[in-house]
A and B are shown apart, each in its own frame.
Chain A
Amino acid sequence: AQKITQTQPGMFVQEKEAVTLDCTYDTSDPSYGLFWYKQPSSGEMIFLIYQGSYDQQNATEGRYSLNFQKARKSANLVISASQLGDSAMYFCAMTSDKLIFGTGTRLQVFP
């Protein structure tokens, strides 16, 4: 069975600092995809970044990077140079036959 675990219910970071949001997963499927979504207070789910299980390099999208450690089954999100607008819920998700989500991490960026 697939499983996604986010162990940090909440995180605080100062503006302009980097922050890492943790995500571990479990699947027996050799082919899978890993996603991060952002959900601001408005409620919309915003796609941030994707990593395929066969990708050799870590995915990056602007200030977002995904630290993919396949042997450890972890897919941590790194946000560099945090901004106040980064305050939101962040969800890690995995797909092999269907997309499942973790419980989320609430990130708060303070000045």
Chain B
Amino acid sequence: DVKVTQSSRYLVKRTGEKVFLECVQDMDHENMFWYRQDPGLGLRLIYFSYDVKMKEKGDIPEGYSVSREKKERFSLILESASTNQTSMYLCASSPPGGDNEKLFFGSGTQLSVL
């Protein structure tokens, strides 16, 4: 069964800490994505990657960076966590292709920044 795994389901961090959110997929997908989900705002794209060592900014990249050293792993980094980054973070992957490629999602990481 295909799988996107996010390393933590719940995470509590302090303001100013450096935070790593890890995502691993076992489907050999080229494309990987990080979204954050907030009530009333839906899912908003933070960063995405179409290949190893490649990254593109999404709609809300400020305060975040990403790393994709290996095809199966896409990490989201909060350089200095702030309280407004408290959110649900969802990782997703998809194979390369046209507009009909659906995303496969991980189960999410609920991050609380205190």
Interface residues of A (CB under 8 A from B): 4, 6, 9, 31-33, 35, 42-45, 47, 50, 52-53, 91, 93, 95-96, 98-104
Contact of B105 among A45, A50, A95 (CB under 8 A): A45
| Chain A binder among B12-20, B22-30, B36-44, B72-80 | B36-44
Expressed in whole angstroms, the minimum distance between the Cβ of B97 and any Cβ of chain A is: 10
What are 13 A-B contacts defined by CB distance under 8 Å? A6-B42, A31-B98, A31-B99, A45-B103, A47-B103, A50-B100, A53-B99, A95-B101, A98-B33, A98-B56, A100-B59, A101-B42, A102-B42
Q: How many residues of B contact A (CB 8 A)?
A: 25
Nearest CB of chain B from residue A28's CB, rounded to whole Å:
14
Interface residues of B in 16-70 (CB under 8 A from A): 33, 35, 40-45, 48, 56, 58-59
CB contacts (< 8 Å) of B103 on chain A: these are 45, 47, 99
- C-alpha gap A4/B45 in the complex (Å): 13
Contact surface of B with A, Cβ cutoff 8 Å: 33, 35, 40-45, 48, 56, 58-59, 88, 90, 92, 98-105, 107-108
Number of A-B contacts (CB under 8 A): 54
Residues of B within 8 A of A99 (CB): 33, 45, 103
Residues of A within 8 A of B41 (CB): 103
The answer to whether B42 and A33 touch across the interface, beta carbons within 8 angstroms, is no
**Which listed residue, B43, B88, B98, touches A43 by the CB 8 Å rule?**
B88
A44-B107, A101-B43 known; A50+B102 contact, CB < 8 A: yes
CB-CB under 8 A from B58, the residues of chain A are: 98
Q: How far is the CA of A97 from the CA of B99 in the complex (A)?
A: 8
